[in-house]
Structure 1
Amino acid sequence: MTMQVCLFLIGASGQQPLLDVAPLRGIDGLRSLVVHEPIARRVDPRIPHFADAPSCVLQLYFDELAALEAATTLDGPIHRSLQKQAPIKRFTQQVMAVRALTPSTPIGAVGESRAHRCTYLVAYEGPAEDFDTWLSYYLQHHAPLMSTLPGLRELEIYTRVDCTSGLPCERANAMQRNKVVFDDASALAHALASPVRDLMRRDFHALPRYRGGAPHFAMRSTYGNFAID
């Protein structure tokens, strides 16, 4: 089975968000693109509101690592597209493997159109005391709880990938990232106030030991699918 890879480009907090991603459409091998912009309102009653949200987060999905590496060369298509709008050093980058997990109770028809949704992005900075133990527990215990959040549209879990990149911006090194996706901010807030969230918080305290923070950011997400089949 081929596992997708995703390039995260994370805009520095307080900077002007990226406004035009149309130039990215022609990149060879780019399967899809999601642009996240921060939501100011607090949606999670159980953890503090993180005021230093990124100005934007871009997710660029590729089916093959080789295509992603070709797109991230110095002065390559991603570098040229972003540099026209903002200094690329305002971003940090990280390439990660994608685990797309199916919600326990999918909503809506297969192939349903999606343009805008609301996403909760989470980063576990790490490191874990034992990453294999951490990831095994997370996938076997925590992810199944997440998949039962009411109104959940998508669930993805990301882990680090070592690869080449010529993009002249700092590399992030989160050991894991997650996203849960809902129709809108109200649906996200409803899920985060649900009994499932209580179970998740209890399980969070049972996670294997790790260091670093776990920032959570509520984002407005815009989707684009660019591949030609």
Structure 2
Amino acid sequence: MTFALVMFWQGGDALTEAGRGKLRALLGGLPGVERSILYTPAKASDLYTDDGAGPGLGVQIEAPSLEALEAACAADGALQALADPDFLPELAGAQADQQMFVLRRYPVDEAQMQTPAGEIACSYVVHYPGPAQDYNAWMTHYIAGHPPIMRRFPGIRGIEILTRCDWISALPFARAGHMQRNRVLFDSPVALTAALHSPVRHEMRADFHTFPPFEGGNYHFPMSTEVV
């Protein structure tokens, strides 16, 4: 099983190359962590949605145990550096949130990235704040129906569904309570746009209209994606 700590920052300035380097070093040195993902804004087009500007920065930290993530978030944990305005001055004034999840991965037919020169991989990150009227019915329907359709997107390289769990953290960031977050991965923003304008996008929309009742809507953001 894999767990993920997800943090997003709204506001602040764009991450500088120096800041990116410091963040890479911090994330790469976390004990017990399998990998981390660094998200920054990207541009892509969707046939059905335009949710405006996404978060200025996002981080997804993955580990085989919840305890490893909780240790990083402890009062003496390494991630406390993110709350220090001197560590990443570009985040001064930004508002951050945090949430831990169970991370579920689903198969794709071609997982090997083929990112063009000068491009960076691109994720479509989707937030479902919730709540659902019946969370079990919601998850049963979503997991059974949506990933098989996602798999048919041309050029898709990865599918993840993140579902809520309880966690301990001493980070001084707001605690989000999304019922679910998703991520689909592509070689570039161009590849993501091509997928979101393909016939599969119509299938996704049709399935969306069969979802069990839920509140809170959903939000879609293209994010450049760097694995640390």
TM-score range, shorter chain: 0.7 to 0.9
1:141 maps onto 2:139 in alignment: no
Aligned residue number for residue 225 of structure 2? 221
Q: Describe the SS at the equivalent of 1:218.
A: strand
What CA distance in whole angstroms lies between the structure 1 residues aligned with 2:111 and 2:31? Answer: 32
1:11 maps onto 2:14 in alignment: no
Aligned residue number for residue 54 of structure 1? 55
Identity %: 35
TM-aligned CA deviation for residue 107 of structure 1: 4.5
Q: Describe the SS at the equivalent of 1:190.
A: helix
CA contact (8 A) 1:134 1:207 kept: yes
The number of residues matched between the two structures is: 213
Q: Quick one: structure 1 residues 129 and 81, their matched pair in 2 at CA, closer, same or farther if it must change by over 3 Å?
A: closer
Per-residue CA shift, 1:29-84, capped at 9, x if unaligned? Answer: 11111111111x3411211x222411111001111111111110124201125521
What CA distance in whole angstroms lies between the structure 2 residues aligned with 1:89 and 1:57? Answer: 12
TM-score with structure 1 length normalisation? 0.87
RMSD (Å), alpha carbons:
1.8
Range that drifts further, 81-90 or 198-207: 81-90
Q: Describe the SS at the equivalent of 2:153.
A: coil
Q: Quick one: structure 1 residues 203 and 155, their matched pair in 2 at CA, closer, same or farther if it must change by over 3 Å?
A: same
What CA distance in whole angstroms lies between the structure 2 residues aligned with 1:37 and 1:149? Answer: 23
What CA distance in whole angstroms lies between the structure 2 residues aligned with 1:163 and 1:108? Answer: 33
Aligned residue number for residue 68 of structure 1? 69
Q: Describe the SS at the equivalent of 1:30.
A: coil
TM-aligned CA deviation for residue 87 of structure 1: 5.2
**AA of the residue aligned to 2:62:** Y
What CA distance in whole angstroms lies between the structure 2 residues aligned with 1:181 and 1:94? Answer: 21
TM-aligned CA deviation for residue 16 of structure 1: 1.9
Question: What does 1:101-120 align with in structure 2 at a 5 Å threshold?
Answer: 101-103=106-108, 105-108=109-112, 116-120=120-124
Range that drifts further, 153-162 or 72-81: 72-81
Residue of 213, 216, 219 corresponding to 1:209: 213
Unaligned runs of 5+ in 1: 110-114, 225-229
Aligned residue number for residue 157 of structure 2? 153
What CA distance in whole angstroms lies between the structure 1 residues aligned with 2:2 and 2:146? Answer: 22
What CA distance in whole angstroms lies between the structure 2 residues aligned with 1:89 and 1:72? Answer: 19
Q: Describe the SS at the equivalent of 1:116.
A: coil
CA contact (8 A) 1:79 1:88 kept: no
Q: Describe the SS at the equivalent of 2:194.
A: helix
What CA distance in whole angstroms lies between the structure 1 residues aligned with 2:14 and 2:4? Answer: 20
TM-score with structure 2 length normalisation? 0.88
Aligned residue number for residue 43 of structure 1? 45
1:30 maps onto 2:30 in alignment: no
Range that drifts further, 69-78 or 179-188: 69-78
**AA of the residue aligned to 1:149:** F
Aligned residue number for residue 199 of structure 1? 203
Q: Which runs of 4+ in 1 moved over 3 A?
A: 86-89
TM-aligned CA deviation for residue 213 of structure 1: 2.0
Q: Quick one: structure 1 residues 160 and 189, their matched pair in 2 at CA, closer, same or farther if it must change by over 3 Å?
A: same
What CA distance in whole angstroms lies between the structure 2 residues aligned with 1:203 and 1:173? Answer: 24
TM-aligned CA deviation for residue 155 of structure 1: 0.3
Unaligned runs of 5+ in 2: 114-118
